[in-house]
Amino acid sequence: MFHQYYKSIRCFHAVAKTGGFTSAAQYLHIGQPTVTDQVKSLEARFNVELFLRSGRSVKLTAAGERLYAITQGLFGQEEEAMLFLQGARKLKVGMVRVGSVSPPIAMELARNFKQAHPPLDITVSIGSEESTLQGLQDFSIDVGIVVEPAAAEGLHIEPYRNERIVAVVPEGHAWTRRKSISTRDIEGETVILREPGSKTRHRVERACRQQDVSLHCAMEINSREAIQHAVANGMGVSFVTQVEFIPLPGLAAVAIDDEQLSISYSLCCLSIRRERPLIDALFAVAL
């Protein structure tokens, strides 16, 4: 029923807000006769007097005051919605949600995005590649940071950055006295690896196979942070990308001379959403 009287109530609100029929017409960008007719129609339809008219001035009646209290909330929310939409168009309001397999890379991107767009919000969730890609499909995240995702219909992928894998060793380990090591130097070391499916683990195992190096895996841990704590406690050596190395007490990173030991990260989103303003702004900052 309300939609039948929307124009009339909108005109009433404008008159009450601006204090006159002429100013209300200017506010609504319509002719004054239209405003006058709409208000008169509303009063006649419900047999109620909303304004006391005296020449060019108008004053709300008691009924008009009560109706205006209602329309202030009603049209105030309408105006708030328009201000929000206008702000979103100008990238003054909004939030972009990022899912990532790498905490350091996601945090660096979040920092750069906030520096470029201070009014905008960004949230970051860390998970596996599978959960990140699923989050895009579920619309629970807007942009994903994953390692070399397979091409898929409806998925937009852009290369983001390449990170070398380094050896993580206890402080005082023989490797720390060298500028770098080779893959062959891993032979005979007690190694701590990520869980099967880890891209870092895959790269290390592949490089060792190609050079006929035997890996002595003493432990599997599904957390980069936990692995580095284990190494710091002398439980073996391990491997992470340079950006993910945490300089804990008792820990050191050593470069590896093997081009294959690197990880390529990509940004991805649903193809149909690539040009959305917030997603486009994030890609622009990242790339």
Contacts of 219-228 with C-beta under 8 Å, sequence gap 24+, read 219/192, 219/193, 220/192, 220/193, 220/194, 220/195, 220/196, 221/192, 221/193, 221/194, 221/195, 222/194, 222/195, 224/194, 227/168, 227/192, 227/194, 228/168
CB atoms within 10 A of CB 1: 4
Do residues 29 and 56 lie in contact, with contact meaning Cβ atoms separated by under 8 Å? Answer: no
Residue 79: predicted pLDDT = 76
Output the pTM of the full model: 0.68
**Based on the number of CB atoms within 10 Å of its own CB, is 12 exposed (0-12), middle (13-18) or buried (19 or more)?**
buried
What single-letter DSSP state applies at residue 237? Answer: B
Tokens of 48: 């109620």
Which of 184, 205, 187 shows the shortest CA–CA distance to 195? 205
Taking the C-alpha atoms of residue 205 and residue 199, their distance in angstroms, rounded to an integer, is 10
SS (H, E, C) 2-51: HHHHHHHHHHHHHHHHHCCHHHHHHHHCCCHHHHHHHHHHHHHHHCCCCE
Yes or no: say if 123 and 151 are a contact pair by the CB < 8 Å rule.
no
> Checking DSSP bridges between strand 143-147 and strand 51-54, what pairing results, if any?
unpaired
**Residue-wise pLDDT tens digits, 217-230:** 989 998 888 999 99
The answer to whether residues 10 and 75 touch, using CB atoms and an 8 Å cutoff, is: yes
| pLDDT, tens digit (0-9, with 9 covering 90-100), for 84-123 | 777 677 777 788 999 999 999 999 999 999 999 998 899 9
Q: First-to-last CA distance in the chain?
A: 51
pLDDT per position as a tens digit, 257-281: 998 899 999 999 999 999 888 899 9
Give the rounded percent of residues in the chain with a pLDDT score beyond 90.
70
Rounded-to-integer distance, Cα 132 and Cα 189, Å = 34
Q: Residue 109: CB partners within 8 Å, gap ≥ 6?
A: 98, 145, 282, 285, 286
pLDDT at 80 over 80: no
Measured CA to CA in angstroms, residue 215 lies from 184, 187, 201 at distances of: 10, 6, 11
What is the distance between the alpha carbons of residues 140 and 269, in angstroms, rounded to a whole number? 12
Averaged pLDDT for residues 169-186 = 93
Residue bearing the bigger pLDDT, 180 or 89: 180
> Which pLDDT score is estimated for 223?
87
Name every residue whose Cβ is closer than 8 Å to that of residue 138 and which is 6 or more positions away in sequence: none
Residue 238: DSSP 8-state:
E
Q: How many CA atoms lie within 13 A of 211 on its CB side?
A: 17
